[in-house]
Amino acid sequence: MSLSNVKPLNDRIVVRRDASDEKTKGGLLLPEQAKKKPQRGTILAVGPGKMDKKTGERHPMQLKAGDKVLFTSWAGDEVKQPAVKEGDVLIMHEEDVLAVIG
């Protein structure tokens, strides 16, 4: 599966999680199990927006591809990509994003 083929639906976004810290502040290397998954990432793709069931209108997305975001720790579903060096991606709802980081 290539990321260029992934088109999120409705109010979903595709996010690549930032790399986790390799070392502690004191300089100790962290084993893979001790690393926390970062709650930051970059948006790769954005859906067209949520459809209002009553009016049939689509609400535009506030986010766009390329935005750096901070999201909740339980956000999204992880999509494994073994053939891609940049790592796995998350597919989540726009409402799981807490802030855009500048």
Following CA atoms 101, 62, 15, 13 in sequence, which dihedral angle do they give, to the nearest 10 degrees?
Answer: 170
| pLDDT digit string, tens, across residues 85-101 | 556 789 999 999 999 99
How does residue 46 score in pLDDT terms, banded at 50, 70 and 90?
very high
| Pair type for strands 77-79 and 58-59 | unpaired
The residues spanned by each domain of the chain are 3-19+30-101
Which SS3 state, helix, strand or coil, does residue 4 take? helix
Interatomic CA distance for residues 29 and 75, integer angstroms = 27
Residue 80 near residue 96 (C-beta atoms within 8 A): no
Topology at the third CATH level for domain 3-19+30-101: 10 Kd Chaperonin, Protein Cpn10; Chain O (2.30.33)
User: What's the pLDDT band for 83 if we cut at 50, 70, 90?
Assistant: low
Q: Give mean pLDDT, residues 45-61.
A: 92
pLDDT tens for 61-77 read 999 999 999 998 888 88
Q: Say how far apart CA 55 and CA 44 lie, in whole Å.
A: 29
